[in-house]
Structure 1
Amino acid sequence: MAAKFDLLGDPIPDNHGKAGRDGHVACRENHNKIRLLAIAGWTQAQIAKELGLSAPTLRKHYFLSLKKGASIAVSEIKAQVMLMLFKAAQGGNVAAMKELLKQAERSELEALAGKARGDGKAKEKPLGKKAQQSKDARDITATAEGGVAAHLPSYSDFKH
Protein backbone atom coordinates (compact mmCIF):
# COMPACT_ATOMS: atom_id res chain seq x y z
CA MET A 1 0.00 0.00 0.00
CA ALA A 2 1.51 3.33 -1.04
CA ALA A 3 1.86 6.03 1.57
CA LYS A 4 -0.24 9.17 1.03
CA PHE A 5 1.06 12.67 1.79
CA ASP A 6 -0.68 15.97 2.44
CA LEU A 7 0.20 19.29 0.75
CA LEU A 8 2.99 19.93 3.25
CA GLY A 9 4.58 16.55 2.58
CA ASP A 10 3.55 14.96 5.88
CA PRO A 11 2.24 11.39 5.76
CA ILE A 12 -1.52 10.90 6.10
CA PRO A 13 -2.64 8.18 8.55
CA ASP A 14 -4.61 5.24 7.14
CA ASN A 15 -7.74 5.99 9.19
CA HIS A 16 -7.84 9.73 8.39
CA GLY A 17 -11.43 10.95 8.21
CA LYS A 18 -12.84 7.82 9.83
CA ALA A 19 -14.19 7.38 13.36
CA GLY A 20 -11.58 7.30 16.12
CA ARG A 21 -8.27 9.08 16.47
CA ASP A 22 -5.92 9.40 13.56
CA GLY A 23 -2.86 7.26 14.13
CA HIS A 24 0.56 8.85 14.14
CA VAL A 25 2.77 8.07 11.15
CA ALA A 26 6.49 8.22 11.74
CA CYS A 27 8.60 10.21 9.29
CA ARG A 28 12.34 10.62 8.65
CA GLU A 29 12.32 14.26 9.76
CA ASN A 30 11.02 13.30 13.21
CA HIS A 31 13.57 10.47 13.50
CA ASN A 32 16.38 12.93 12.82
CA LYS A 33 14.94 15.48 15.23
CA ILE A 34 14.62 12.85 17.97
CA ARG A 35 18.23 11.73 17.51
CA LEU A 36 19.51 15.29 17.77
CA LEU A 37 17.41 16.05 20.84
CA ALA A 38 18.52 12.79 22.49
CA ILE A 39 22.16 13.71 21.85
CA ALA A 40 21.46 17.10 23.42
CA GLY A 41 20.33 15.31 26.58
CA TRP A 42 16.58 15.85 26.35
CA THR A 43 14.32 13.41 28.20
CA GLN A 44 11.67 11.36 26.42
CA ALA A 45 8.95 13.50 27.97
CA GLN A 46 10.57 16.69 26.65
CA ILE A 47 11.02 15.20 23.18
CA ALA A 48 7.40 13.99 23.10
CA LYS A 49 6.15 17.43 24.11
CA GLU A 50 8.29 19.10 21.41
CA LEU A 51 6.81 16.80 18.74
CA GLY A 52 3.27 17.12 20.10
CA LEU A 53 3.02 13.44 21.01
CA SER A 54 2.44 11.47 24.15
CA ALA A 55 5.41 9.60 25.63
CA PRO A 56 3.87 6.16 24.82
CA THR A 57 3.30 7.22 21.18
CA LEU A 58 6.87 8.45 20.99
CA ARG A 59 8.18 5.12 22.31
CA LYS A 60 5.86 3.14 20.02
CA HIS A 61 6.87 4.80 16.75
CA TYR A 62 10.42 5.94 17.46
CA PHE A 63 11.77 3.24 19.76
CA LEU A 64 14.79 2.59 17.51
CA SER A 65 15.78 6.25 17.51
CA LEU A 66 15.42 6.34 21.30
CA LYS A 67 17.15 3.00 21.81
CA LYS A 68 20.31 3.94 19.96
CA GLY A 69 22.98 5.35 22.21
CA ALA A 70 24.22 8.88 21.84
CA SER A 71 27.57 7.65 20.55
CA ILE A 72 25.87 5.72 17.73
CA ALA A 73 23.74 8.73 16.82
CA VAL A 74 26.83 10.97 16.79
CA SER A 75 28.61 8.45 14.55
CA GLU A 76 25.65 8.43 12.16
CA ILE A 77 25.64 12.22 11.99
CA LYS A 78 29.38 12.32 11.33
CA ALA A 79 28.92 9.77 8.56
CA GLN A 80 26.16 11.85 6.97
CA VAL A 81 28.32 14.98 7.12
CA MET A 82 31.22 13.11 5.51
CA LEU A 83 28.92 11.92 2.70
CA MET A 84 27.68 15.46 2.12
CA LEU A 85 31.29 16.71 2.05
CA PHE A 86 32.15 14.01 -0.46
CA LYS A 87 29.22 14.93 -2.72
CA ALA A 88 30.13 18.62 -2.53
CA ALA A 89 33.78 17.81 -3.31
CA GLN A 90 32.69 15.76 -6.33
CA GLY A 91 30.67 18.76 -7.47
CA GLY A 92 33.81 20.91 -7.50
CA ASN A 93 33.49 22.67 -4.13
CA VAL A 94 37.12 23.45 -3.21
CA ALA A 95 36.35 24.15 0.47
CA ALA A 96 34.68 20.73 0.73
CA MET A 97 37.70 19.11 -0.91
CA LYS A 98 40.06 20.72 1.62
CA GLU A 99 37.89 19.72 4.57
CA LEU A 100 37.55 16.18 3.27
CA LEU A 101 41.33 15.89 2.95
CA LYS A 102 41.75 17.27 6.47
CA GLN A 103 39.30 14.71 7.85
CA ALA A 104 41.01 11.88 5.96
CA GLU A 105 44.45 12.90 7.28
CA ARG A 106 43.07 13.11 10.82
CA SER A 107 41.59 9.61 10.54
CA GLU A 108 44.85 8.27 9.14
CA LEU A 109 46.84 9.80 12.02
CA GLU A 110 44.42 8.35 14.58
CA ALA A 111 44.76 4.91 12.99
CA LEU A 112 48.57 5.14 13.07
CA ALA A 113 48.50 6.30 16.69
CA GLY A 114 46.25 3.34 17.56
CA LYS A 115 48.72 0.89 16.02
CA ALA A 116 51.61 2.52 17.90
CA ARG A 117 49.71 2.10 21.18
CA GLY A 118 49.02 -1.53 20.33
CA ASP A 119 45.24 -1.19 20.14
CA GLY A 120 45.09 -3.63 17.24
CA LYS A 121 46.92 -6.34 19.20
CA ALA A 122 44.96 -9.43 20.21
CA LYS A 123 44.28 -9.88 23.91
CA GLU A 124 46.12 -12.57 25.82
CA LYS A 125 44.10 -15.65 26.67
CA PRO A 126 43.12 -15.57 30.35
CA LEU A 127 44.51 -18.22 32.67
CA GLY A 128 42.31 -21.04 33.84
CA LYS A 129 41.11 -21.27 37.43
CA LYS A 130 43.80 -23.68 38.67
CA ALA A 131 46.61 -21.99 36.77
CA GLN A 132 45.57 -18.59 38.17
CA GLN A 133 45.45 -19.97 41.73
CA SER A 134 48.90 -21.53 41.28
CA LYS A 135 50.29 -18.25 39.91
CA ASP A 136 48.75 -16.28 42.78
CA ALA A 137 50.19 -18.72 45.34
CA ARG A 138 53.67 -18.44 43.79
CA ASP A 139 53.43 -14.65 43.77
CA ILE A 140 52.42 -14.51 47.46
CA THR A 141 55.13 -16.90 48.63
CA ALA A 142 57.77 -15.21 46.46
CA THR A 143 57.08 -11.86 48.03
CA ALA A 144 56.78 -13.27 51.56
CA GLU A 145 60.05 -15.23 51.43
CA GLY A 146 62.08 -12.74 49.46
CA GLY A 147 61.87 -14.49 46.11
CA VAL A 148 62.99 -17.98 47.22
CA ALA A 149 59.65 -19.70 46.54
CA ALA A 150 59.66 -18.57 42.91
CA HIS A 151 62.04 -21.45 42.15
CA LEU A 152 59.78 -24.13 43.63
CA PRO A 153 57.98 -26.48 41.24
CA SER A 154 54.45 -25.45 40.31
CA TYR A 155 51.24 -27.40 39.74
CA SER A 156 51.82 -27.43 35.98
CA ASP A 157 55.23 -29.14 36.44
CA PHE A 158 53.50 -32.28 37.78
CA LYS A 159 50.84 -32.53 35.04
CA HIS A 160 51.11 -35.33 32.49
Structure 2
Amino acid sequence: MLAETVCSAVSAAGLGIAAITAYRKRFLAAARLAAYSLVPVGLVMTGAVQWVADTAFSPTAWAGFGVLAVAWLLFLTTRAVERRTVGTRKERRAARAASRRQAVEPGASAPAPAPAVGRAPARRSAPATAPPEASKGKPRGGAEPSEDFSDIEAILKKHGI
Protein backbone atom coordinates (compact mmCIF):
# COMPACT_ATOMS: atom_id res chain seq x y z
CA MET A 1 0.00 0.00 0.00
CA LEU A 2 2.85 2.37 0.80
CA ALA A 3 4.60 1.57 -2.50
CA GLU A 4 1.47 2.42 -4.48
CA THR A 5 1.12 5.74 -2.69
CA VAL A 6 4.75 6.66 -3.32
CA CYS A 7 4.46 5.77 -7.01
CA SER A 8 1.30 7.86 -7.36
CA ALA A 9 2.96 10.85 -5.68
CA VAL A 10 6.02 10.55 -7.94
CA SER A 11 3.77 10.45 -11.00
CA ALA A 12 1.77 13.47 -9.89
CA ALA A 13 4.96 15.46 -9.24
CA GLY A 14 6.38 14.46 -12.62
CA LEU A 15 3.19 15.50 -14.42
CA GLY A 16 3.30 18.85 -12.62
CA ILE A 17 6.90 19.43 -13.75
CA ALA A 18 5.86 18.41 -17.29
CA ALA A 19 3.05 20.99 -17.22
CA ILE A 20 5.47 23.74 -16.14
CA THR A 21 7.89 22.68 -18.90
CA ALA A 22 5.08 22.82 -21.49
CA TYR A 23 4.10 26.29 -20.23
CA ARG A 24 7.69 27.40 -21.02
CA LYS A 25 7.12 26.22 -24.60
CA ARG A 26 9.45 23.24 -24.40
CA PHE A 27 6.91 20.74 -25.66
CA LEU A 28 9.27 17.93 -26.59
CA ALA A 29 10.86 17.89 -23.13
CA ALA A 30 7.41 18.16 -21.53
CA ALA A 31 6.13 15.16 -23.47
CA ARG A 32 9.20 13.15 -22.45
CA LEU A 33 8.70 14.08 -18.77
CA ALA A 34 5.02 13.14 -18.96
CA ALA A 35 5.95 9.75 -20.41
CA TYR A 36 8.43 9.08 -17.61
CA SER A 37 5.89 10.26 -15.04
CA LEU A 38 3.22 7.83 -16.23
CA VAL A 39 5.48 4.76 -15.84
CA PRO A 40 5.11 4.42 -12.03
CA VAL A 41 1.30 4.64 -12.24
CA GLY A 42 1.30 2.02 -15.01
CA LEU A 43 3.43 -0.29 -12.89
CA VAL A 44 1.04 0.11 -9.95
CA MET A 45 -1.97 -0.62 -12.14
CA THR A 46 -0.43 -3.82 -13.57
CA GLY A 47 0.47 -5.15 -10.13
CA ALA A 48 4.21 -5.14 -10.82
CA VAL A 49 4.88 -2.88 -7.84
CA GLN A 50 3.08 -5.27 -5.49
CA TRP A 51 5.06 -8.20 -6.93
CA VAL A 52 8.36 -6.33 -6.51
CA ALA A 53 7.46 -5.31 -2.96
CA ASP A 54 6.53 -8.89 -2.08
CA THR A 55 9.74 -10.18 -3.65
CA ALA A 56 11.99 -7.59 -2.01
CA PHE A 57 10.82 -8.48 1.49
CA SER A 58 10.62 -12.25 1.00
CA PRO A 59 13.48 -14.38 2.41
CA THR A 60 12.48 -17.22 0.08
CA ALA A 61 12.88 -14.97 -2.95
CA TRP A 62 16.34 -13.85 -1.80
CA ALA A 63 17.34 -17.48 -1.23
CA GLY A 64 16.16 -18.20 -4.77
CA PHE A 65 18.32 -15.36 -6.13
CA GLY A 66 21.25 -16.84 -4.19
CA VAL A 67 20.67 -20.27 -5.73
CA LEU A 68 20.52 -18.69 -9.20
CA ALA A 69 23.80 -16.87 -8.53
CA VAL A 70 25.51 -20.11 -7.46
CA ALA A 71 24.22 -21.87 -10.59
CA TRP A 72 25.51 -19.02 -12.76
CA LEU A 73 28.94 -19.20 -11.12
CA LEU A 74 29.06 -22.96 -11.66
CA PHE A 75 28.25 -22.51 -15.35
CA LEU A 76 31.01 -19.92 -15.73
CA THR A 77 33.56 -22.03 -13.84
CA THR A 78 32.88 -25.20 -15.79
CA ARG A 79 33.04 -23.32 -19.07
CA ALA A 80 36.39 -21.77 -18.19
CA VAL A 81 37.82 -25.13 -17.12
CA GLU A 82 36.49 -26.78 -20.28
CA ARG A 83 38.10 -24.14 -22.49
CA ARG A 84 41.42 -24.58 -20.73
CA THR A 85 41.43 -28.39 -21.02
CA VAL A 86 40.30 -28.40 -24.64
CA GLY A 87 43.15 -26.03 -25.52
CA THR A 88 45.76 -28.24 -23.89
CA ARG A 89 44.36 -31.34 -25.59
CA LYS A 90 44.74 -29.67 -28.97
CA GLU A 91 48.30 -28.66 -28.13
CA ARG A 92 49.13 -32.22 -27.04
CA ARG A 93 47.71 -33.64 -30.26
CA ALA A 94 49.72 -31.16 -32.32
CA ALA A 95 52.91 -32.00 -30.40
CA ARG A 96 52.36 -35.74 -30.93
CA ALA A 97 51.73 -35.21 -34.63
CA ALA A 98 54.89 -33.09 -34.93
CA SER A 99 57.00 -35.72 -33.15
CA ARG A 100 55.61 -38.41 -35.45
CA ARG A 101 56.48 -36.31 -38.50
CA GLN A 102 60.04 -35.77 -37.22
CA ALA A 103 60.47 -39.48 -36.49
CA VAL A 104 59.41 -40.37 -40.03
CA GLU A 105 61.71 -37.82 -41.74
CA PRO A 106 65.26 -39.08 -42.34
CA GLY A 107 67.95 -37.12 -40.52
CA ALA A 108 65.46 -35.34 -38.29
CA SER A 109 66.73 -34.05 -34.98
CA ALA A 110 65.15 -34.88 -31.66
CA PRO A 111 61.91 -33.03 -30.90
CA ALA A 112 62.19 -29.87 -28.84
CA PRO A 113 60.98 -30.18 -25.25
CA ALA A 114 57.51 -28.82 -24.51
CA PRO A 115 57.25 -25.60 -22.49
CA ALA A 116 56.99 -26.22 -18.76
CA VAL A 117 54.33 -23.67 -17.87
CA GLY A 118 51.45 -22.07 -19.78
CA ARG A 119 50.67 -22.09 -23.43
CA ALA A 120 53.25 -21.48 -26.10
CA PRO A 121 52.77 -18.29 -28.10
CA ALA A 122 51.22 -18.74 -31.51
CA ARG A 123 53.79 -19.00 -34.29
CA ARG A 124 53.35 -18.13 -37.91
CA SER A 125 54.01 -20.85 -40.41
CA ALA A 126 56.15 -20.22 -43.47
CA PRO A 127 54.23 -19.43 -46.65
CA ALA A 128 53.56 -22.42 -48.90
CA THR A 129 55.13 -20.82 -51.97
CA ALA A 130 58.18 -18.83 -50.93
CA PRO A 131 60.15 -16.83 -53.52
CA PRO A 132 63.45 -18.44 -54.61
CA GLU A 133 65.63 -15.87 -52.84
CA ALA A 134 63.80 -16.49 -49.55
CA SER A 135 64.55 -20.21 -49.63
CA LYS A 136 68.36 -19.91 -49.70
CA GLY A 137 69.99 -22.09 -47.09
CA LYS A 138 66.92 -24.26 -46.66
CA PRO A 139 66.76 -27.88 -47.76
CA ARG A 140 65.18 -28.20 -51.20
CA GLY A 141 63.91 -31.77 -50.94
CA GLY A 142 60.45 -32.51 -49.58
CA ALA A 143 58.18 -30.07 -47.79
CA GLU A 144 59.56 -26.93 -46.20
CA PRO A 145 59.73 -26.90 -42.42
CA SER A 146 56.91 -24.92 -40.85
CA GLU A 147 59.26 -22.96 -38.56
CA ASP A 148 62.53 -21.21 -39.23
CA PHE A 149 65.07 -21.75 -36.44
CA SER A 150 68.00 -19.94 -38.06
CA ASP A 151 67.76 -16.95 -35.72
CA ILE A 152 67.61 -19.24 -32.69
CA GLU A 153 70.61 -21.21 -33.93
CA ALA A 154 72.55 -17.95 -34.38
CA ILE A 155 71.82 -16.92 -30.79
CA LEU A 156 72.85 -20.34 -29.47
CA LYS A 157 76.11 -20.25 -31.48
CA LYS A 158 76.83 -16.76 -30.21
CA HIS A 159 76.60 -18.02 -26.62
CA GLY A 160 78.61 -21.15 -27.39
CA ILE A 161 75.82 -23.62 -26.90
Larger gyration radius, structure 1 or structure 2: 2
The answer, yes or no, to whether TM exceeds 0.5 is: no
Shorter-chain TM-score: which interval?
under 0.3
Flag the structure with more relative contact order, 1 or 2, with Cα contacts below 8 A and sequence separation at least 6.
2
Between Structure 1 and Structure 2, which shows a larger proportion of helix residues?
Answer: 2
Question: What's the TM-score once normalised by structure 1's chain length?
Answer: 0.23
